[in-house]
Amino acid sequence: MRKFIIYVILSIFLGIAAYISFAYYATYSEGVRAGELIKLSHKGIIFKTWEGEISRGITGSHIFTFSVLDSDQKVIDDLNELQGQYVKVTYKERYKTFPWWGESKHFVVKVEKENSPFNIK
């Protein structure tokens, strides 16, 4: 009976470890989105995270929300500089997120200034 309980506890811990590892390392998709950077904020009570929004339409009805990891300081600095401008962001979408990572499942890993298609000359 004692061995059975040990095996059950061990299998529960291994299952939890496998789930956390999957959520931490696995990505669902990777891609690029472009739009006007309308928001970047450092928010939270217990866990301070970087959250942002990109407007992908003229009316602002198509909003892409994203998070930035604290370890990506260059991305955070670039986003702060490009506030209010048209940008192209490269992101990774994860299956799950942790509270200390951010609210969104989309994590920006690179940002570039882009020419707006709405400024037609």
Q: Give 54-85 pLDDT, tens digit per residue.
A: 987 766 668 889 999 888 899 999 999 999 88
Look at residue 62 and tell me if it is in a domain: yes
Q: How many other C-beta atoms are found inside a 10 Å radius of the C-beta of residue 8?
A: 10
Instruction: Write out the residue range of the structural domain in which residue 68 sits.
Output: 27-113
Which CATH number fits the domain that encloses residue 59? Answer: 2.40.50.140
What is the per-residue pLDDT for 90? 95
pLDDT lower than 70: segments of the chain: 58-61, 119-121
pTM: 0.77
Collect all residues with Cβ–Cβ distance below 8 Å to 46 and sequence separation of at least 6. 99
Q: Number of folded domains in the chain?
A: 1
